[in-house]
Structure 1
Amino acid sequence: MMRPSLPHIQPVRRIRYVIFLKDVLILALTTFGGPQVHLAMLYDRFVVKRRYITESELMELNALGQVLPGPTSTQTITAVGFKIGGPNLAYITLLIWILPGVSIMTAAGMGMYYLEQQNLSIHFTRFIQPMAVGFLVVAGYRIGQKVIKNKVSLALALTATLVAYVFRSPVMTPIVILVGGLTTALTYEKQERMDKKPLRVQWANFFLWLGVFVAAAGLGALTQSLPVRLFENFYRNGSLVFGGGQVLTPMLYNEFVAFKHYLSREEFLSGLGLVQAVPGPVFAFASYIGALSMRHEGISGQFWGSFVSTAGIFLPGTFLIFFVYRFWEQLKRYRVVRASLEGVNAASTGLTAAAAIILFQPMIPHWPSVVVVLVTIGLMLYTRTPPYALILGGLLVGLLF
């Protein structure tokens, strides 16, 4: 039996790729609510409707995204693109997936500065700020339910909370995560033993990730250029965050509000609330921070700040998913790798809890803010009200009253 000729196969593949990218765009415009909701929608479209991959393949890729630092849902959908069409399709998938959310959050950052320049009140966002704290509390609670399984993980989470609350420096974040991972790695003997094969590692993407990391840090120190330093700041955070956008929040707050004062607390909370109402990855929050960090450089400077911040936050996870994807089947069989994830996740939960406490503390004297936080928590836990509906309602109430 003769095989179809290559010229016939190529157009079929291209058509399949175009359909896949159209599905990615639909997801980018309609997915709200973070990695858990994103995974459900990816399953519905990629597995049930299109059958690009199987359910087990999707869950494997999602697990890989959870193992690596970076945005979990972004890494998952990028890995699906890699599996279907290789690295070129994966990069296009990444761009289409992040573009709507990044564009909206860039516009939000520029709009926030415009209102401030025109001396226009941004008081209509006053309910969004306590809502953002409510979202963070619920996120930490839900993450904790999944990852705190024993006394060790509970102790790690509490210790991480205390350390992050007392030492509010971006330097402490990677230390807390590293200590958490090393602590549970020592308990690897409790993990199920699996047959192992020698690792065959292709190092190109790892060296690319490391080279950019070192070059950005060196250039930032030498030039003191704000765009370069922004890229380095976000690249470093994107290389160290495990657990998605909720865990990224305390890292960004410590770096850009508490430590460097690029944003005010109110600006940060307003953006954190708004990103809940935006489709796509929560990491698009970086675009908002980047635009406001370069607010004094004019419109072009704000666009540039958003661009370098967006590139910085998304590139590490992309380089690392490309690197690890090729030998993931062998790597996950090592007990020490699986064991270390328990400590990383527990420490990340503690970081989220500390961020919620730090952001809530100044609101305590203002009872309306406390009420909004509690109502938001209640609605998120006991109803199916989507976050974007709460945010839009909060903006409406703020405008009316």
Structure 2
Amino acid sequence: MSVKSVRYYIYLKDVLLLSVTAFGGPQAFLAMVLDIMVRKRAYISEEELWELNALCQVLPGPTSTQTISAIGYRIGGPNLAYLSLFVWILPATLLMISAAFLIDFLQENTPGALNFAKFIQPMAIGFIIYAAQKTIFKMVRTPEATMLMMFSAFISFFYNSPYVFPLLLVVGGVTTSLKFRSQPVEEGDKKLVISWSNFFLWAGVLVFAALLGALTKNQSVLLFENFYRNGSLIFGGGQVLVPYLYTEFVEFKKFLSSQEFLTGYGISQGIPGPTFSISSYVGALSMREYGIPGLLTGGFIAAAGIFLPGTFLIFFVIRFWDQLKKYRPVRAALEGINAVSCGMLIAAAYLLFEPLDNNLFNVMAIFGTYLLLQFSKLSSPVIIIIGVLAGIGYNWVF
């Protein structure tokens, strides 16, 4: 085995280690990548890591997954990048498909069995409120951004169609790009040299899946197109994915109940790996009518659909990002896109609360989860475990 092959093998083993130990969201993930891949292995420099992560944050798709793929691309090109993507998402995908199996089995065989998630469902909203607060304080810093956030929240609440969200993102980006003169001028050659192959790959898959789905009406194809489209539009991380999935698969298509969705979201907060893995849970339950093969197919199709577009886009942009970021309208547009994403989060918190019983129990569970996240040092998995145990205890006593 060559030195290069050994290095690739060690890198994939490190990615697998991350996939089963990276609890706690993007901050914990970055800390582990910095420790293992920069300081211990020296795959890339610390400066390169921050630059790659910043690039991934301004692209649609799952930031942690794109960062892992981009590091693999820098080390060994596209083949290693795709392998690292597979290794990174597989454990979380399998866990969330297993969760879908469990929930479906309990629903079919033990009516009322989801009472064990009595605490988990309102707790999931507490997680969203906490994520919204963190995201808003980080991304909304100007009066224009605040107005866009409020406008987006209003529209998302009253017109919660999956087709409205992409339009809002475009409006937000165009609005703030118009004030590009407030951005500092970057020195250097601004001539762009672009290799379009990965862009055409991304766009080609999107158009082909949409056309094939429209022609065949095959549920597997339609499901892939749904998740691929969502993966192409999500800015702001896994928490921003929630309103998209809830609107499309609960409100619009009614493939899942609100109770099932909130239970799955709560479970996803307690497992390692990418937060976008909730897509596998939603995809699996969307095809439960086809039995075990349907659950498996739906889960893996959803994973492929949600993770592939961000990977194609990072491969496309990474080659000319240094030139692109010098364009002031591009940098200015990000402010509006981020503000709109924050507005969607606010709407999501309310829309997810709406189906729950409006009682003191649920309000206290939401508020208590937020306080634990904000003021305690307990990790998300520990908080979720506490919620599950509390739900089991409640059922046993009452």
TM-score interval (norm. to shorter):
over 0.9
What secondary structure does 1:240 align onto?
Answer: coil
Give the TM-score, by structure 1 length.
0.96
What secondary structure does 1:201 align onto?
Answer: coil
- C-alpha contact 2:93 2:300 (8 A) present in aligned 1: no
- C-alpha contact 2:258 2:355 (8 A) present in aligned 1: no
- Report the Cα offset of residue 196 of structure 1: 3.2
Q: In the alignment, which of 178, 199, 215 is matched to residue 222 of structure 1?
A: 215
Counterpart-to-counterpart distance in 1, 2:238 and 2:358: 28
Query: 1:115: which partner in 2?
Result: 106
Counterpart-to-counterpart distance in 2, 1:391 and 1:39: 22
Query: 1:6: which partner in 2?
Result: none
- Report the Cα offset of residue 80 of structure 1: 0.4
Instruction: Tell me if 1:67 matches 2:58.
Output: yes
Counterpart-to-counterpart distance in 2, 1:350 and 1:305: 30
- C-alpha contact 1:235 1:313 (8 A) present in aligned 2: yes
Counterpart-to-counterpart distance in 1, 2:189 and 2:325: 9
Query: 1:315: which partner in 2?
Result: 308
What secondary structure does 1:258 align onto?
Answer: helix
Instruction: Tell me if 1:150 matches 2:142.
Output: yes
- 1:264-284 deviations in Å (ceiling 9; x for gaps): 000000000000011100111
Query: 2:231: which partner in 1?
Result: 238
Counterpart-to-counterpart distance in 2, 1:161 and 1:267: 24
- Report the Cα offset of residue 15 of structure 1: 1.0
In structure 2, stretches of 5+ residues that fail to align are none
- 1:275-303 deviations in Å (ceiling 9; x for gaps): 00111001111100111001110101111
Matches within 5 A, 1:270-285: 270-285=263-278
- Report the Cα offset of residue 364 of structure 1: 5.8
Counterpart-to-counterpart distance in 1, 2:43 and 2:204: 34
Instruction: Tell me if 1:97 matches 2:88.
Output: yes
Counterpart-to-counterpart distance in 2, 1:136 and 1:201: 38
- Report the Cα offset of residue 67 of structure 1: 1.3
In structure 1, stretches of 5+ residues that fail to align are 1-9
What secondary structure does 1:198 align onto?
Answer: coil
Matches within 5 A, 1:80-229: 80-120=71-111, 121-194=113-186, 195-229=188-222
Instruction: Tell me if 1:267 matches 2:267.
Output: no
Letter of the structure 2 residue corresponding to residue 70 of structure 1: G
- Report the Cα offset of residue 20 of structure 1: 1.0
- C-alpha contact 2:68 2:84 (8 A) present in aligned 1: yes
- 1:68-121 deviations in Å (ceiling 9; x for gaps): 100001001110010011111100100000011000000101111011111341
Query: 1:41: which partner in 2?
Result: 32
Is the deviation greater in 33-42 or in 121-130? 33-42
Counterpart-to-counterpart distance in 1, 2:242 and 2:27: 17
What secondary structure does 2:232 align onto?
Answer: helix
- C-alpha contact 1:363 1:370 (8 A) present in aligned 2: no
Letter of the structure 2 residue corresponding to residue 374 of structure 1: F
Letter of the structure 2 residue corresponding to residue 280 of structure 1: G
- 1:232-279 deviations in Å (ceiling 9; x for gaps): 000000001101100010000110001110100000000000000111
Query: 1:327: which partner in 2?
Result: 320
- C-alpha contact 2:92 2:277 (8 A) present in aligned 1: yes
Q: In the alignment, which of 70, 78, 92 is matched to residue 69 of structure 2?
A: 78
Letter of the structure 1 residue corresponding to residue 329 of structure 2: V
Counterpart-to-counterpart distance in 2, 1:32 and 1:358: 27
- C-alpha contact 1:153 1:346 (8 A) present in aligned 2: yes
- C-alpha contact 1:290 1:306 (8 A) present in aligned 2: yes
Query: 1:4: which partner in 2?
Result: none
What secondary structure does 2:251 align onto?
Answer: helix
Q: In the alignment, which of 5, 12, 15 is matched to residue 24 of structure 1?
A: 15
Q: In the alignment, which of 42, 55, 58 is matched to residue 46 of structure 2?
A: 55
- Report the Cα offset of residue 376 of structure 1: 0.4
What secondary structure does 2:305 align onto?
Answer: helix
- Report the Cα offset of residue 352 of structure 1: 0.6
Distance verdict in 2 for CA 1:364–1:398, change over 3 Å = closer
- Report the Cα offset of residue 310 of structure 1: 0.9
Give the TM-score, by structure 2 length.
0.97
Counterpart-to-counterpart distance in 2, 1:88 and 1:70: 20
State the aligned residue count. Answer: 392
Letter of the structure 2 residue corresponding to residue 304 of structure 1: T
- Report the Cα offset of residue 371 of structure 1: 0.4
- 1:41-89 deviations in Å (ceiling 9; x for gaps): 2111111222111111001100111111000010011100100111111
- Identity percentage of aligned residues: 51
